[in-house]
Amino acid sequence: MAKLYFKYGAMGSSKTAQALITKFNYEERGMKVWLIKPSLDDRDGAVIIKSRIGLGAECTTIKPDDDIYEMFTRDEYRADVIITDECQFFTPENIDQMRRIVDELNVPVLCFGLRTDFLTKLFPGSMRLFELADSISEIKTICSCGKKASVNARIDENGNTVTEGSQVMLGGNDSYIAMCHKCYKRSIGKK
């Protein structure tokens, strides 16, 4: 029986690397993988998923109004499993389409991404995954203090924690730091 999986973690928890390793494991067993990401994530190019440690693979980019279920039924996208990166940027409708693939076509869908934004608010795609996923697991990373990091603190060019701005701002280590909630509260209290 196929399942919808949500594997989330803070920035720097190796979500993308784990997604790509999972892809490799399926392919090593002779299975076809459909690797997808939302079109909003164009940091490494429109059709590339790349981890910070250098792993990378070609993927299909999904626009907000694309119907993932309908796309998957085409021969060119048919696969034994779907693996997604940056799933927090998918629309709730996209998540519903993935759920439909699991339920009606018995194909597992593994979603890797963030749970919350820099203000600790759920992303719409993540919220829908919390509502629909059969399996939810956290990929852990640590704060500089050594505790488990759970917050994606957005930082400015001077290293100060930012508490205003749009929910989505693409960036890496230059824009975000994973922190425990205590360190996050301390960093915003300095303002």
Per-domain boundaries in the chain = 4-138, 151-189
Pick the more confident residue, 98 or 165: 98
pLDDT > 70 in the chain, percent: 91
- The whole-number average pLDDT for the span 169-173 is 56
pTM over 0.85: yes
Across the chain, the runs of DSSP E, i.e. the strands, are 4-8, 33-38, 48-50, 56-58, 60-62, 81-84, 109-113, 135-138, 151-154, 176-179
Among 86, 93, 104, 138, the one annotated catalytic? 86
List CB contacts of 159: < 8 A, sequence separation 6 or more.
none
CA distances from 11 to 104, 121, 173, 177 (A): 33, 15, 8, 7
Confidence of residue 169 (pLDDT cuts 50, 70, 90): low
pLDDT in tens, 58-106: 999 999 999 999 999 998 899 999 999 999 999 999 999 999 999 999 9
Write the burial class of residue 89 (CB in 10 Å: 0-12 exposed, 13-18 middle, 19+ buried). buried
CATH architecture of 4-138: 3-Layer(aba) Sandwich (3.40)
How much of the chain is helix, strand and coil, in % rounded to 5? Answer: 30, 25, 45
- Give residue 170's pLDDT: 58
86 is catalytic: yes
- The whole-number average pLDDT for the span 114-125 is 92
List CB contacts of 154: < 8 A, sequence separation 6 or more.
118, 161, 162, 165, 169, 171, 175, 176
- Please check the confidence at residue 191 and state whether its pLDDT lies above 60: no
